[in-house]
């Protein structure tokens, strides 16, 4: 059974005796309709037990509908989505729903979508239709950023039963009253300013890493981005709770945790804490051998954080920063909160403190306003900094964003050419970085690979190494010599 806590504020619906703490066995419906101010609006819920404690009603939801049912999960987009899908899966598992085996038709299908680009929307629609086709009798739940931004578009897809927005997706059990296919999709979303909750999420990928959600939402409102509309304002978990989750990973045998979120450097809004103190607390968790910090805004990657990583026991020399453009004029059009001088300083600071550090950089090409001159400025700046790899994204126009007010639009052919130029530069730099590591002894975490195939792992500074398959190496961090580059694997060979 799961507990749904209903707080009745300024309400005279029921005033319990504060001294009472006894269960009332009952089975009935409660309707709470909007009236006056601060009343709680609630769907019709079937109860199996009520318990009154002061001004709180603890409601035990009848979950018999979930017993002996199976579910399949499909995730599109970022690692944060994967962590949240894992949280949804754990919630359904606690309700009695097991994961469907490969090839088995599921009773419930949950699709967690992305909407960062127009292509992501298209992939979301394709994934939803494919899942429905393969599981025609399943109860289909669609959530994620696409569901939050365009719920009616999702609901219009035949076969979708329930569409949940950002505020509802991590409480999925609450919104499933039965598992019968519906004639019309039910849509439950909240306005962006009402997206307030933070639900901790941690997931293991198909390899060996765990992804720990430490923060959600964003207050930046960059001109090209819909993330604040899809995920709401910046909010986070507490350091205490996140450390507990790290201990849980230890209990499950995890060796590496990636800290993830929408704008993780902005950690602390809701708990009056800060990111550096979170890092210090996590660094003390015995059993975790290394952490990685996922993408962090350059203006929030303080020199203190860089120095801490350089001296820490467990944080990897691996940084990922979004540059987006190497032209200050374009950065202003994007409404970014830094300039190229600050970005250069961060790269130089990292390399001074950690010469062997891996630095990944995000770049967007073809944004509105990016003239040929501005792109050449950007390319020249990117060539001048000591990065290890680029993640290149092609600009996609998103409805409702401020960027649509910028007059100059880049044509698709030019976008493609600019993207290729940056990808070629990225390949060149990645090989250079790999070559600089040849002959060094690094710590490698080897990952699961199908039996009979070669297996791979990553060093602490994110160099990919291959080795012959050996089950005894899986989920172990070992000192390994970095061998020569393997053209077929596009990685380095591991030498023991």
For 118-153, the pLDDT digits (tens) are: 889 999 999 999 999 999 999 999 999 999 999 999
Do 260 and 169 share a structural domain? Answer: no
Query: Can you tell me the distance from the alpha carbon of 107 to that of 137, in angstroms, rounded to the nearest whole number?
Result: 7
pLDDT tens, residue by residue, 254-284: 999 999 999 999 999 899 999 999 999 999 9
CA angle 266, 271, 275 (to 5 degrees): 35
Structure confidence at residue 156 (pLDDT): 96
Query: Can you tell me the distance from the alpha carbon of 143 to that of 149, in angstroms, rounded to the nearest whole number?
Result: 10
C-alpha dihedral sign at 461, 462, 468, 474: positive
Report whether 174 contacts 164 (CB < 8 A).
no
At 50, is the pLDDT very low, low, confident or very high (cuts 50, 70, 90)? very low
In a domain, 436, yes or no: no
Do 229 and 124 share a structural domain? Answer: no
Lowest-confidence pick of 107-116, 174-183, 336-345? 174-183
In a domain, 293, yes or no: yes
Do 261 and 135 share a structural domain? Answer: no
Structural domain span for residue 422: 202-428
Structure confidence at residue 487 (pLDDT): 87
In a domain, 344, yes or no: yes
Structure confidence at residue 61 (pLDDT): 53
Structure confidence at residue 64 (pLDDT): 80
CATH at 80: 3.40.50.12160
Structure confidence at residue 450 (pLDDT): 62
- For the chain, what is the domain count? 4
In a domain, 195, yes or no: no
For residue 24, pLDDT over 70 is answered with no
Query: Can you tell me the distance from the alpha carbon of 143 to that of 377, in angstroms, rounded to the nearest whole number?
Result: 40
Query: Can you tell me the distance from the alpha carbon of 11 to that of 56, in angstroms, rounded to the nearest whole number?
Result: 11
- Least Cα distance to 232 among 158, 149, 298 occurs for 149
- Least Cα distance to 264 among 226, 291, 288 occurs for 291
Query: Can you tell me the distance from the alpha carbon of 45 to that of 60, in angstroms, rounded to the nearest whole number?
Result: 10
Do 451 and 419 share a structural domain? Answer: no
For residue 344, pLDDT over 60 is answered with yes
Cβ-based burial of 30 (10 A; exposed 0-12, middle 13-18, buried ≥19):
middle
Do 43 and 83 share a structural domain? Answer: no
Distance of CA 135 to the CA centre of its chain: 26
Structure confidence at residue 452 (pLDDT): 64
Query: Can you tell me the distance from the alpha carbon of 89 to that of 99, in angstroms, rounded to the nearest whole number?
Result: 8
Structure confidence at residue 400 (pLDDT): 85
Report whether 455 contacts 215 (CB < 8 A).
no
Do 253 and 175 share a structural domain? Answer: no
Do 446 and 414 share a structural domain? Answer: no
pLDDT tens, residue by residue, 190-232: 998 888 889 888 887 656 789 999 999 999 999 999 899 999 9
- Least Cα distance to 89 among 127, 81, 447 occurs for 81
Query: Can you tell me the distance from the alpha carbon of 161 to that of 137, in angstroms, rounded to the nearest whole number?
Result: 11
Mean pLDDT of 54-70: 64
In a domain, 114, yes or no: yes
- DSSP character at residue 66: G
**Quick check: helix, strand or coil at residue 256?**
strand
- Least Cα distance to 375 among 400, 335, 411, 399 occurs for 411
C-alpha distances in angstroms, 310 versus 97, 171, 239, 280?
A: 44, 39, 21, 12
- Least Cα distance to 343 among 325, 355, 364, 368 occurs for 325
In a domain, 433, yes or no: no
For residue 29, pLDDT over 60 is answered with no
In a domain, 26, yes or no: yes
pLDDT tens, residue by residue, 430-452: 999 999 999 999 999 998 776 66
Lowest-confidence pick of 143-152, 336-345, 424-433, 486-495? 486-495
Do 423 and 463 share a structural domain? Answer: no
C-alpha distances in angstroms, 323 versus 330, 361, 420, 494?
A: 11, 6, 17, 32
Do 264 and 377 share a structural domain? Answer: yes
Do 414 and 307 share a structural domain? Answer: yes
**Quick check: helix, strand or coil at residue 432?**
helix
In a domain, 435, yes or no: no
């Amino acid at each position: 059974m799961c507990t749904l806590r209903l707080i009745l504020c300024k309400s005279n619906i029921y005033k319990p005796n504060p001294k009472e703490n006894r269960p009332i066995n009952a089975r009935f419906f409660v309707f709470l309709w909007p009236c006056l101010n601060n009343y709680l609006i609630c769907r019709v819920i079937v109860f199996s037990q009520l318990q009154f404690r002061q001004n709180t009603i603890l409601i035990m939801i009848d979950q018999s509908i979930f017993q002996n049912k199976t579910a399949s999960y499909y995730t599109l987009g970022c690692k944060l989505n994967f962590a949240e899908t894992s949280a949804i899966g754990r919630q359904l598992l606690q309700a009695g729903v097991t994961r469907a085996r490969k090839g088995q038709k599921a009773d419930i299908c949950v699709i967690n979508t992305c909407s960062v680009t127009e292509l992501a929307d298209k992939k979301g629609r394709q994934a939803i239709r494919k899942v429905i086709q393969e599981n025609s009798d399943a109860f289909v739940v669609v959530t994620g950023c696409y569901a939050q931004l365009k719920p009616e578009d999702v609901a219009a897809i035949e076969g979708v039963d329930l569409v949940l927005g950002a505020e509802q997706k991590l409480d999925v059990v609450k919104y499933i009253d039965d598992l019968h296919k519906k004639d019309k999709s039910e849509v439950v979303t909240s306005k962006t300013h009402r997206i307030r909750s933070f639900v901790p999420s941690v997931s293991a990928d198909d390899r060996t890493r765990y992804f720990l959600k430490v923060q959600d939402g964003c207050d930046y409102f960059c001109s090209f981005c819909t993330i604040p509309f899809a995920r709401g304002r910046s909010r986070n978990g507490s350091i205490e709770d996140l450390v507990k989750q790290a201990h849980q990973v230890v209990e499950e045998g995890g060796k590496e945790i990636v800290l993830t979120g929408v704008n993780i450097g902005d950690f602390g809004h809701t708990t009056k804490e800060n990111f550096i103190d979170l890092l210090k607390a996590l660094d003390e968790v015995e059993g975790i051998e290394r952490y990685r910090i996922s993408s962090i805004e350059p203006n929030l990657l303080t020199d203190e954080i860089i120095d801490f990583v350089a001296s820490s026991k467990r944080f990897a020399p691996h940084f990922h920063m979004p540059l987006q453009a190497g032209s200050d004029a374009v950065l202003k059009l994007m409404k970014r909160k830094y300039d190229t001088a600050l970005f250069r300083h961060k790269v130089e600071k990292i390399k001074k403190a950690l010469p062997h550090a891996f630095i990944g950089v995000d770049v967007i090409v073809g944004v509105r306003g990016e003239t040929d001159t501005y792109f050449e400025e950007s390319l020249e700046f990117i060539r001048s900094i000591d990065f290890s790899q680029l993640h290149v994204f092609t600009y996609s126009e998103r409805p409702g964003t401020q960027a649509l007010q910028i007059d100059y639009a880049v044509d698709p052919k030019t976008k493609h050419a600019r993207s290729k130029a940056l990808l070629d530069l990225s390949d060149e730099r990645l090989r250079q970085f790999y070559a600089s590591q040849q002959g060094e002894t690094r710590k490698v975490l080897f990952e699961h690979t199908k039996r009979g195939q070669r297996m791979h792992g990553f060093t602490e500074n994110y160099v990919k190494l291959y080795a012959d398959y050996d089950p005894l190496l899986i989920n172990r961090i070992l000192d390994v010599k970095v061998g020569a580059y393997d053209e077929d694997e596009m990685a380095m060979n591991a030498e023991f």
